[in-house]
């Protein structure tokens, strides 16, 4: 028996939305067309953040204090940049703050950069193995008794 029409009449496409990239879309929509989100809190936040960003050929950039532009990345791009700078040919498995600073010096940015850097280095085996050790004594220090001072 051959069917002449599909058994499912209505096909529904479900698009997954990355919650980390929503901020980027909100700011881009506001800068392009002046469209604000429906939620008044998000609309106020978007209106407040938007002057720190600029659009160049449909790519979002963040302005820094010194006037340079940092490219805003999606989650996939951010993971690639984290991996390359931390483990790449010039990577030295540095800590979270220095990794975040290196990424910003390379010209990239996203909202939760420091949080992502912390999570990433905690997954790195080499960082965990060679991280600085805590050299605190196992018990409290005790003063040395001097029997004859100036002897």
The residue extents of the domains of the chain are 16-72, 74-130
Kindly report the backbone phi and psi dihedral angles of residue 71, in degrees, each rounded to the nearest multiple of 5, phi listed first.
-75, 130
Smallest Cα–Cα separation from 119: which of 20, 3, 27, 7? Answer: 20
pLDDT, tens digit only, all 151 positions of the chain: 666 665 555 444 343 444 556 778 888 888 888 888 888 998 999 899 889 999 988 888 988 888 888 888 888 888 888 888 888 776 777 788 888 888 888 888 888 888 988 898 888 877 777 666 666 767 787 888 878 777 6
From residue 37, how far is each of 9, 26, 29, 78 by CA, in Å? 34, 7, 9, 25
Place of tokens 């960003």: 53
Full-model pTM: 0.64
Cβ contact 110:116 at 8 Å: yes
From CA 131, how far away is CA 134, in angstroms rounded? Answer: 9
End-to-end CA distance of the chain: 110
């Amino acid at each position: 028996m051959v069917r002449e029409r599909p058994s499912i009449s209505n096909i529904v496409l479900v698009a997954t939305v990355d919650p980390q990239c929503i901020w980027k879309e909100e700011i881009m929509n506001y800068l392009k067309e002046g469209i604000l989100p429906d939620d008044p809190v998000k609309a106020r936040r978007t209106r407040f953040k938007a002057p720190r960003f600029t659009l160049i050929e449909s790519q979002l950039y963040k302005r820094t204090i010194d006037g340079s532009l940092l490219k805003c990345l999606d989650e996939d791009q951010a993971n690639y940049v984290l991996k390359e700078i931390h483990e790449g040919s010039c990577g030295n498995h540095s800590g979270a703050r220095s990794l975040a600073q290196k990424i910003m010096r390379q010209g990239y940015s996203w909202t939760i950069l420091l949080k992502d850097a912390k999570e990433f280095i905690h997954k790195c085996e080499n960082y965990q193995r060679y991280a600085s050790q805590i050299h605190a004594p196992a018990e409290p220090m005790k003063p040395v008794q001097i029997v004859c001072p100036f002897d």
